[in-house]
Amino acid sequence: MTKSYIYRPKAPLDKYPYARKFPKPIEVFCPQEYPGYYVRGQGLDFPYECPGVRETDPVVYYQLRLLVLVNDSFDNIKFNLGSLRDQYRFGKIIGRTEREFESVTSIWVPQVYPAGNKEFKQEKLPVSLTIDLKNIGLIENEYLKGRLQEKPDIIFVNLVMVPTVEVDPVTRHARNTCPEFSYPFVACYFDSAHYMKDEVRAWFGHLYDTFCFELDYKGISKKEFFRLLDMVGTFSHWAIWGEKIISDYIRQLYEFFASVSDSQDPLVSFCFSFLDDLLDDLYRKKIIGRCASCGNAFIFDKKKKYCSLLSEGKNCGKSARNKTYYQRYLNKVKLKKRQGMAEWRSYLKERKVKKPPPKSRKKG
């Protein structure tokens, strides 16, 4: 989903250790219907903070945003409250519309006391938001078209992570500025010795299991999911703490892109969204430049506009200049080609060269 809505916590989440174990998602609804499906979403304030590079850098909190499609056959309202107590979480979709969701008058969340006695405390429904379809950012790609042809009850469409709040590391007060990039998150938890690294990885493993059981996800394996996150974390970590971005770094980055770029799986797209943020930030800082022809990145040089044969292995400048020349002198080029063809035909006629017969096609 896009950044059209941002839910900011009233205080840093580390003040609420109970909410860290059982976070409540924000329920998102859409009044318009996608053909044959209802659009549903969830937002979750990620329960762990992401520290800055230096001690004076702000601490950043993130929000996960989930987008799914559900049809008329989808109905998980009928299960009893006993099962709802332990199963309601991010990734558990309740109700197709806001009215159906509100029909669940209460949600019971387990409360564990130090003595070990487990009781259930009645709490209010989570926050709900209504968003217009054009602001959700639903992209119709080949993956979505294929899933629509299968006509399942629920379709996992998209998952993104968006930075929402910057917190001063000393005063613990939220700043007015909102961070723009999310790639420091994977650099912190998937390629460093952060003390919460194992707990965050376990959290994402649980999230993957939830998607498989609740959203009928049948894409990449959990092992592949963590491999992609680790690779993305390695590239992000080098961009933040590395000494210098070199051409070999960009080459390895694009080789990694090419290895899985054809996949439109939502979890693959989730992993690659961090790299998109990374490239945008490096471009903004003028560490890398972008080819005006193919869009690929190279080491920034204010005089360089296209990929070169020497450093990138392709001459985009030549093809771009040829295209510019053709568009500028279109009529002249076409006239020259017609004159050349006419002279060629006249030459063949003088030589009495007959036009060769068409090649016969092989049957079968």
Structure tokens at 283: 């471009």
The per-residue pLDDT for 287 is 80
Distance CA 40, CA 96 (A): 7
Q: How far is CA 137 from the centre of its chain?
A: 11
Nearest residue to 125 (alpha-carbon basis) of 152, 151, 104, 143: 104
The per-residue pLDDT for 87 is 62
3-class DSSP assignment, residue 63: strand
* Chain segment 328-344, per-residue pLDDT in tens: 666 665 666 666 677 76
Pairing of strands 26-34, 37-45: antiparallel
User: Which residues share a beta bridge with 128?
Assistant: 27
* Residue whose entry in the numeric block shows the structure tokens 């294929």: 146
Q: Which residue has the higher pLDDT, 311 or 74?
A: 74
Nearest residue to 211 (alpha-carbon basis) of 159, 175, 251, 135: 159
Do 299 and 250 form a contact (C-beta atoms < 8 A)? yes
The per-residue pLDDT for 314 is 77
Instruction: Please report which confidence band the pLDDT of residue 60 belongs to, taking 50, 70 and 90 as the band edges.
Output: confident
Instruction: Please report which confidence band the pLDDT of residue 242 belongs to, taking 50, 70 and 90 as the band edges.
Output: low
* Chain segment 290-311, per-residue pLDDT in tens: 787 777 777 777 777 887 777 7
Instruction: Please report which confidence band the pLDDT of residue 288 belongs to, taking 50, 70 and 90 as the band edges.
Output: confident
The per-residue pLDDT for 218 is 87
For residue 360, the number of C-alpha atoms closer than 13 Å in the C-beta half-sphere is: 3
Distance CA 228, CA 186 (A): 11
Calculate Rg over the CA atoms of the chain: 27
Distance CA 271, CA 228 (A): 6
What integer best gives the mean pLDDT of the chain?
A: 75
- The count of other CB atoms within 10 Å of the CB of residue 219 is 16
Quick check: 359 pLDDT over 50?
yes
